Structure 1
Amino acid sequence: MKHLVLLFYYLCLLNLVDAALTVAGIESSLITEANPLMERIYSIDLKLFITLKLCLSLTLLLFILYKKVPQSKLVKGITLFAAASYTTVICMHGYWLVQIV
């Protein structure tokens, strides 16, 4: 269980970092949002985009705080996939950050 809780914390952090870097990158015209759903939400309203990202992180934190982190194999698999995907995205953000320095 402890590993899954740590992954929830990790996803929460990566989600917030991704939100900040995405906004910075898009606003500087350095990147575009690759996720079609999030791109559409971003194009509708930046505040909505940020609110959704904050709500996702808050939801993950609430699962942890209320000790209700699901323990099914499905949730573990999805969480591992999400962590790997987000890590890749953050590495991509790192790449464009290095390119502009």
Structure 2
Amino acid sequence: MFPIKILFWTIGILNLADGILTYIGMQLQLIGEANPLMSSIWELSPYLFLCCKIALSIFLFILAANFKTKHVKTWRMILAIPLLLYLSIFAVHLTWITYALGGLR
């Protein structure tokens, strides 16, 4: 089993990657934002969107550094949900990147 700090770091990195890849994909008009909240933020400002994603990742990194609990099993199960979601989102990003790069040839 992974330590909880590693789970927080992994989710933070995947969130940051999601933000950067979504920003690139949206700027190139290759993808749309599926999350209604983040889509609304994008409509306000793409830079605000990116800042929100960066801020969330920083928050997760701070949690990783300072998180202490006696309920390790419970937190592993809780953190498994966003981890799986971000891994599936990352797979979607890899799909559109592969498609976009294939279209450049």
Tell whether the structures are fold-level matches, with TM greater than 0.5. Answer: yes
My pick for the range that moved more, 16-25 or 43-52, is 43-52
Cα displacement (A) at 1:51:
1.2
Q: Contact 1:9/1:61 (CA < 8 Å) preserved in 2?
A: yes
Query: Tell me, what secondary structure is at the counterpart of 1:8?
Result: helix
The amino acid of 1:20's aligned partner reads I
**Post-superposition, which runs of at least 4 consecutive aligned residues in structure 1 deviate over 6 A?**
none
* CA-to-aligned-CA distance 1:47-76 (integer Å, 9 cap, x gap): 21111111111111111222x255542x43
What is the total number of aligned residue pairs between the two structures?
A: 99
* Residue in 2 that maps onto 1:85: 85
Q: Contact 2:11/2:86 (CA < 8 Å) preserved in 1?
A: yes
Q: Contact 1:12/1:60 (CA < 8 Å) preserved in 2?
A: yes
* Residue in 1 that maps onto 2:7: 7
Cα displacement (A) at 1:2:
5.3
Structure of higher CA gyration radius = 2
Structure 2: gaps of 5 or more residues? none
CA distance, structure 1, for counterparts of residue 70 and residue 85 of structure 2: 20
TM-score (structure 1 length as normaliser): 0.88
Identity %: 29
* Residue in 2 that maps onto 1:94: 94
Structure 1: gaps of 5 or more residues? none
TM-score (structure 2 length as normaliser): 0.85
